[in-house]
Structure 1
Amino acid sequence: MKLLLINPNTSLPMTRSIAEAASAVAAPGTEIVARCPTFGPVSIEGHLDDAFGAAGVAEQAMVAAREGFDATVIACFGDPGLDAAREALPGPVLGIAEAAFRAASIVATGFSVVTTMTRTCVIAERLVSRYGCESTCRGIHGTDIEVLSLESCDEATLARIEAASRVALARDRSEAIVLGCAGMAALCEELQRRLDVPVIDGLAVAVKLAEALSALRLRTAKRGDYAPPLSKRWTGWAAGFGRDVTA
């Protein structure tokens, strides 16, 4: 299968590291193409960043719409632009937060999220509500680790995430940890070994779910609100997309 991986921020090093993490769990024969927007912030750490990240996801989804991808994964824990990408693309589109929440709810009766900046916890809280996981998500914990510091994560950073996870497990009475940033993907295996509980990396789960949905030949429904975008004239820097929206 051919899998599109969209990193909603514009950090090329993080895009490469996310692609490597996805490739590590992908099945033989899965081709992963990783891309990021041509504009926007280098990291997503707030509502304004999230809004531009969503626009960047939409941009990349529209560019890829006629390239024959079997499925798409949005590699940011805020799932920015998820609905827009589902509208633009024919194959299934997965957000890593939704994928992580679903997996965590299967392997544990309660889980906690450990993420980067505390200011982004409200974004995760809203996603918990959107995905109907209020009864299983028992807490969301910020570490105030900057996203870009995860590009070259050292032992001190790993130790901070471990410590926050231990606090979350005890305080929330949780049985699993969800990592709240795609940049934490490479830390999942080591954290699981240290904590001795399921540690869920949404990127890995989304890749495997994308493969499963592709194998089952399930695609995004194109009746109702995920129907293809209407053809219309666009203006400004995005004028070219008006000609592309013909499906």
Structure 2
Amino acid sequence: MTAIAHHREAPATAPLRILWVNPINQPGYDAPIADLIGRVKLPNAEVHVVSLAIPEPVALTNLEWRVFESSIWFPVTAIARYAATHGFDGYAIGCFYDTALDEAREISGDAVVCAPCQSALQIVSNLANRFSVVIGVEKWKVQMEDRIRHYGYHDRLASFRTIGRHVDEFQQDTAATEDAIRRAVREAVEIDKAEAVILGCTIEFGFYAQLQREFGVPIVDAVYACYKATEAAALAKVQFGWKPSRLYSMAPPGEDRLAASGLFAAPPPIGNTVIVPRA
């Protein structure tokens, strides 16, 4: 039997454009995240890693508190609009709270939008029946548990384990952070019977591989989970036309309403940019 040849899919090597936002207005993580992505991206992907342009005196290094997070909902959404109008195939929101994910998806045009929590959950669900999430401090637990429940994975959650560190402390003393994560992973696996562990912050980068070797269970890095989910979705969009639906609950405001609102009249709130080119 021969395949029906009414349509020819784009090759897996088709060019991709992906936008990653670090949703803070400090550029310090842009180059490290771009470096991580550069190690693992497809050769045909061009990736723009950006942080936010929010003027002083606002200075955000993290979104741990809801009051901090509240200040960046619209900027993250506005950059989704930028992705829609500037030819990006995928847009990644780099915070494990999945900040403004639904709003960004509404306005992203043909760009597929992903975020770390949902991406990590989708990946870990293929690898294990029970998982734990390693977080910085107890403060995060309720909000993250709400997201896990919202996505339908709560019955597979073995535990949260905290390491007693804030986001802006993770990369200051990486040896101490790794030791703290190691203790949390051990407790999750040995006490809570987790079969896999998610590192519940994008700034917990650089630790998964060593711990995975030590414990012999999947340790899901939030940056890689989110980036690879976005890249895969972007490629599926280009190859198969699987772009965001715009019916019913996914319908955005019409262009006339958007223009009348004036919401996107200003330039997109993009600050620093690091571009990872195609190979």
TM-score of the superposed pair, with normalisation by structure 2: 0.80
The one-character-per-residue Cα deviations of 1:17-68 (angstroms, maximum 9, x if unpaired) are 2222222221112111011222262211121122223233113223333110
Within the alignment, does 1:123 sit opposite 2:143 as a pair? yes
Instruction: Decide which structure has greater helix share.
Output: 1
**Counterpart in the other structure of 1:9:** 24
**Counterpart in the other structure of 1:63:** 82
Percent identical among aligned pairs is 26
1-side partners of 2:131 and 2:223: how far apart? Answer: 17
Code of the aligned partner of 1:166: R
8 A Cα contact 1:74 1:95, kept in partner: yes
8 A Cα contact 1:13 1:151, kept in partner: no
**Counterpart in the other structure of 1:99:** 119
Within the alignment, does 1:84 sit opposite 2:103 as a pair? yes
Within the alignment, does 1:209 sit opposite 2:254 as a pair? no
8 A Cα contact 2:182 2:211, kept in partner: yes
Deviation at 1:112, TM superposition (A): 0.1
Q: Structure 1 residues 243 and 184, CA, compared in 2 at 3 Å: closer, same or farther?
A: closer
Code of the aligned partner of 1:58: T
Deviation at 1:146, TM superposition (A): 1.4
1-side partners of 2:200 and 2:135: how far apart? Answer: 4
Aligned residue for 2:132, secondary structure, equals strand
Match of 1:75 among 94, 97, 109: 94
Match of 1:184 among 183, 186, 204: 204
* Structure 1 stretches of at least 4 aligned residues deviating more than 4 Å after TM superposition: none
Structure 1, unpaired ranges of 5+ = none
Aligned residue for 2:104, secondary structure, equals helix
The more displaced of 9-18 and 77-86 is 9-18
TM-score of the superposed pair, with normalisation by structure 1: 0.90
Question: Root-mean-square deviation (CA), in Å?
Answer: 1.9
Match of 1:108 among 128, 131, 134: 128
Match of 2:37 among 10, 22, 26: 22
Deviation at 1:226, TM superposition (A): 2.2
The structure with higher relative contact order (CA 8 Å, sep 6+) is 2
Q: Structure 1 residues 161 and 11, CA, compared in 2 at 3 Å: closer, same or farther?
A: farther
Report how many aligned residue pairs link the two structures: 240
1-side partners of 2:244 and 2:210: how far apart? Answer: 35
